[in-house]
Amino acid sequence: MKIAGKVVLITGGASGIGLAAVKLFLEHGAKVAVADINEQSGKQLIESFPDEQLAFFKTDITNESDCHQTVQAVLSRFGTIDVLINNAGRLESHSTGQPDWCISHE
Ligand SMILES: NC(=O)c1ccc[n+]([C@@H]2O[C@H](COP(=O)([O-])OP(=O)(O)OC[C@H]3O[C@@H](n4cnc5c(N)ncnc54)[C@H](O)[C@@H]3O)[C@@H](O)[C@H]2O)c1
């Protein structure tokens, strides 16, 4: 699959593994939409790349209406979504011992 020109939506793309994926796709000429709950990191990220290649959408992926709004916003901005990388999440809480999905769905 040729990456150049494809539209990639990456959740949790404002830091860590997601951010590494964002940079890799951008280097290969993709258009990248980042959906992340951390607005400050998202704003810093979009300052480093051209508008036509990268967009940030503040999104809480545990909130269904947030997800719908983000998908609609990405479609409005880029016209399609070719690739979804659903990466957002938190590692197991050491204080509670609960896995991430338990915390997210309480
Ligand atoms: N790093 C590891 O060793 C490791 C191991 C196993 C699994 N994982 C999983 O890989 C993914 C990325 O890990 P990482 O180390 O890059 O983590 P990270 O904390 O560096 O990045 C996670 C990103 O997800 C965002 N995020 C968190 N909750 C969110 C929510 N509800 N809605 C939208 N965005 C949200 C954060 O703001 C952050 O930008 C996570 O799902 C993590 O659970 C990581």
pLDDT tens, per residue, the chain with 106 residues: 799 999 999 999 999 999 999 999 999 999 999 999 999 999 999 998 888 999 999 999 999 999 999 999 999 999 999 999 999 998 866 666 555 555 555 4
Residue 98: the pLDDT is 59
Residue 86 is predicted with a pLDDT of 98
Question: Is any atom of ligand 1 closer than 6 Å to the C-beta of 63?
Answer: no
pLDDT of residue 28: 96
Check residue 49 and give its pLDDT: 87
Select from 34, 27, 30, 25 the least CA-distant residue to 55: 34
User: Is the CB of residue 91 below 6 angstroms from any atom belonging to ligand 1?
Assistant: yes
- Determine the pLDDT at residue 91: 81
Tokens at residue 1, please?
Answer: 């699959």
Strands (E), 1-106: 7-11, 31-36, 54-58, 83-86
Quick check: pTM over 0.85? Answer: yes
Q: Is the CB of 60 under 6 A from ligand 1?
A: yes
